[in-house]
Structure 1
Amino acid sequence: MSDQENADWQPLSRRHVSTREQALFEGVPDHLIHPLNTWIDEYLADRPKLTGRIALQMRVALDYPDPELLVEGVSASDPALLLDVVDVVLHLDKGLWWELDVAGPEPTMEAGAAEWVPDFSWPKGSKAAAVERLDEMLMDAGSAFEVDWHQRCLQRRVDATVAIAADQAMSLDAGQHLRAAWAATYGRHPDPSKAYDEAIRAVEAASIPVVLPRGTRETLGKVHAHLRDASDKWELAIEGANDGSVAPLTEMIGLLWKGHVARHAGSPAFRPQRQDEAQMAIHLAATLVHWFRTGAVRPRKSG
């Protein structure tokens, strides 16, 4: 059974319950409090420096850096803040960063024995293995959050297929902006306006070198205007009934650019971007980045 099949599996009593009734849990529901407390205690055991830094980040006063006291201090005000503790743990632990970015997982002895047997796994007792258990715990508990292995933090859970597509786009040159947009959209503390800004920057980073490579102060608005006015000079990989017309691309870029109402403070249309706008913007941006970086948008051949 693949990881996605396991994630989609439901106990018998819930298999035919509507999607609305299967809504993910925000915050920390009662059934997750003790497992999360235990995970934090075990992860921070014998790590006073990291515990002390987390306490400072969480604004919890401790006489000495003890994980149990940290958990008690956080839970006393709001158990949902335990997710913030985990978020800070993932963000501050340089040992975890080393394992994820440098050391990496190890080949498994049983690789290839069955489809569900992984080819690689984190060493027993490693920090990454502990984070993997955390991710499984959050999934099993129906949490609305999961581990973001790239940003080393928690993010809002999204459809696996959508996440894979976005992950592929993030590996391209514009990935830095897409990752920032993703974190600002699906992180523990969303910032829709920042997310929309970064989505715009990601598409600019991917499209300007293709469409306006000689410009010095180009914007997505100028890319949009050029593709609209010189549409006969460009084509899409999918020809369709319109011979590869870039009209659909122009519409998509226009939707993203004109929907960026937070870019001009003081204008009559100015307002902060909404969360639903940010979510749509980042997925639209991921598609556009992929198109521009893979040659799906290209100059039309003459003749």
Structure 2
Amino acid sequence: MNSEHFGWKPLSRRDISTRDVTLLEGVSDHLLLPLKTWLADYLRDSSEVMGRVALQLHVALDTPDPEKLVETISVKERSHLLDAVDAALHLDKGLWWELDVTGPERAMEAGLAPWIPDYRWPKGSKVAAVERLDDMLADAGSAFEVDWRQRCLRRRVDATVTAAVEQAISMDAGRHLEAAWAATYGRHPDPSKAYDEAVRAVEAAAIPVVLPKSTQDSLGKVLAHLRDAASKWELAIEGRNGGDVTPVREMISLLWKGHVARHPGSPGFRRQRQDEAQMAVHLAASLVHWFTTGAIRRRDVG
């Protein structure tokens, strides 16, 4: 468990806003040796995973030696160590088995103090090793952290925002939202794919609510209906306008009209930018949550 879970920061940084702390891209000098050591130790437990990581990174090995693999990767390009860690986590079915099947064990010390967890992962388990990796990345100020859902690395995002998105991911439209999140914050972002999936997520959540008899309509049709039949809809927050849906319609319009990569070859077409993708996925998470929980609903005319 890393120090962030206790709300602790070094004394010299306690008066600095979290927003002012610059996260470090790539592999910094102080992270290099700990990360190399962790990766070599992790790969030592599985020759199959080590071989697949070498193939993924196009590294030729003459002996199954994890230290040699890690050294070859780091000499070629430091940041490729993060790619190797990312691949190892995602390819290791042993890690998946522990997370999805065996689970943690009950701690003998449970209940003795509020900071002692009721359950913990056994020493020597793969999950315990990955928890140490997560702590290491946080302590080093890395821009990356462990994505426990996808079993890979992702760009570090504020914990409150992450929780909100993960809640939305659990809904029916979650498959698209999860893909948008991965394409936005994964090791190799694809902003256009992220934006595409963000739009599809909102379509999957909104069309069954707004246009329940349709299966082929687009977010543009949802937008048009909420404009033309606005009096039939309301928001959970009434505010001063009696729950008028204009704010939601403007949010959908922003997402829909900002989707400039939708039609290749059309006037104004270009690839989506990373900042657009980030805004789109968080906007989509809110809209998905509202449509799937009844926060946007038909007015009761009775």
| Greater shift in the superposed pair: 117-126 or 282-291 | 117-126
Alpha-carbon separation, structure 2, partners of 1:155 and 1:201? 22
Amino acid at match of 1:190: P
Partner of 1:81: 80
Cα deviations across residues 47-76 of structure 1 (Å, max 9, x unaligned)?
A: 222111110100111102211111111011
Displacement, 1:170? 0.8
2:233 maps to 1:234 = yes
Aligned alpha-carbon RMSD (Å): 1.6
Alpha-carbon separation, structure 2, partners of 1:106 and 1:242? 53
Partner of 2:57: 58
Runs of 4+ in 1 over 6 A off after TM superposition: none
Alpha-carbon separation, structure 1, partners of 2:57 and 2:148? 22
Q: Which runs of 5+ in 2 are unaligned?
A: none
When the two structures are superposed, what TM-score results if normalisation uses the length of structure 2? 0.96
Q: Is the 8 A contact 1:204 1:220 kept in 2?
A: yes
Counterparts of 1:129-148 in structure 2, within 5 Å, are 129-148=128-147
Alpha-carbon separation, structure 2, partners of 1:191 and 1:89? 21
Partner of 2:173: 174
Q: Percent identity?
A: 70
Partner of 2:22: 23
Q: What is the SS of the residue equivalent to 1:79?
A: coil
Alpha-carbon separation, structure 2, partners of 1:4 and 1:164? 15
Displacement, 1:13? 2.0
Displacement, 1:20? 7.0
Counterparts of 1:101-250 in structure 2, within 5 Å, are 101-250=100-249
When the two structures are superposed, what TM-score results if normalisation uses the length of structure 1? 0.95
Displacement, 1:114? 2.6
Q: Is the 8 A contact 1:44 1:51 kept in 2?
A: yes
In structure 2, relative to structure 1, the CA distance for the partners of 1:46 and 1:161 (3 Å cut) is: closer
Amino acid at match of 1:302: V
Alpha-carbon separation, structure 2, partners of 1:65 and 1:182? 35
Partner of 1:258: 257
Amino acid at match of 1:164: A
Amino acid at match of 1:70: L
Q: Is the 8 A contact 1:199 1:285 kept in 2?
A: yes
Displacement, 1:3? 6.5
| Greater shift in the superposed pair: 102-111 or 189-198 | 102-111
Displacement, 1:19? 5.5
Alpha-carbon separation, structure 2, partners of 1:12 and 1:191? 38
Cα deviations across residues 72-96 of structure 1 (Å, max 9, x unaligned)?
A: 1101111111101100001100111
